[in-house]
Amino acid sequence: MKHAISVLVENQPGVLSRVVGLFSGRGFNIESLSVAPTLDPSKSKMVITTSGNKQVLEQIKKQLNKLISVIKVVDYSEKSHVEREMILVKVKAREESRAEVLRIADIFRARVVDVSPTSYTLALTGDTGKLQGFIEILYPIGILDFIRTGTIVMEREMHGRRKLVS
C-alpha cells in the first residue's frame, strides 16, 4: 500500500539531502517527493510517498524522526485526508482530434494552459487515480510531453461531522 508521509523540517541547506540520503542508505523507496517552505519560512514541509510492509514503514517513520533537522512526521494513510497531485500534459491536437482533446479535458475538469496549431497543453490536479485515468485516455491520441508533481496532502477536518453522525 502507498503511504503519504509528511515531514516537517528546518528550512536549511542540506536538509533534503539528509532525508533523501536516509532513504537511499537504508534501502527505502521514494515514489514521489514534494518540498516547499511552510507559512513559517524557517520551516519546510516535505511529502514523501513510499511503500513497504508494516515493519519497513515503522522504521521509515522512526528513522525520519531521529534526524535532528526533522520536527514532525505524519503518516497520512492512517488519517482521513485530501490528496492532490498536478500534471502538465502536452497532447497532439490536429484537426481530427482537437475537439476530442477538449472534450476529455472538460470531463476531467482540466484546464488548457497553452495552445498551438498542433497541440494543447493541459493542466490537471487530482488524486493519483484521477490523474492516471486522464493519462490513459489521452495516451492513444498522442502525448508530446508530460510532467507530474509529487503528492501533497492535508488532513480532513471531520471531527465535527463525526459527532453529528454518532
Partner 1 sequence: MKKITGAHAFIEAIRCEGVKHVFGYPGGAVLDIFDAILDAPDLQFILSRHEQGAVHAADGYARASGNVGVCLVTSGPGATNTVTGIATAYMDSIPIVIFTGQVSTHLIGNDAFQEADIVGITRPCTKHNYLVKDVNDLGRVIKEAFYIARTGRCGPVLVDLPKDVMNSLVNFKYPESVSMESYCPTYRGHLGQIKRIVGMVLKSKRPVIYAGGGVIHSNASDELFALAEKIRVPVTTTLMGLGAFPSGHELSLGMLGMHGTYAANMAVTETDCLIAIGARFDDRVTGKIDEFAPKAKIVHIDIDPTSISKNVKVDLPVVGDCKLVLKGMLDQLEDMKQEISELRNNSESWLARTDEWKKEKPLRYTQGDTIKPQYVIERIDEIAPDDTIVSTEVGQNQMWTAQFYRFKQPRLFLSSGGLGTMGYGFPAAIGAQVAFPDRTVVDIAGDGSIQMNIQELATAVQYNLPVKVMILNNGYLGMVRQWQALFYRHRYSHTCLSTSPDFVKLAQAYGASGLRVENPKDVDDAIREALATKGPVFVDFVVESEEDVCPIVPAGAPINNMLLV
> Residues in the site for partner 1, rule: CB under 8 A?
9-10, 13-14, 17-18, 21-22, 25, 55, 58-59, 62-63, 65-66, 68-71
Least distance in Å: CB of 21 to partner 1?
Answer: 5
Least distance in Å: CB of 53 to partner 1?
Answer: 12
Amino acid at the residue 144: L
Q: Choose between 65 and 116: whose C-beta lies nearer to partner 1.
A: 65
- Is residue 71 within 8 A of residue 23, CB to CB? The reply is no
Least distance in Å: CB of 95 to partner 1?
Answer: 52
Scan for cell 459527532, then name that residue: 163
User: What are the helix (H) ranges across 47-158?
Assistant: 54-66, 95-108, 128-138
Q: Choose between 13 and 117: whose C-beta lies nearer to partner 1.
A: 13
The DSSP code for 155 is: E
Q: Choose between 64 and 104: whose C-beta lies nearer to partner 1.
A: 64
3-state class (DSSP) for residue 19: helix
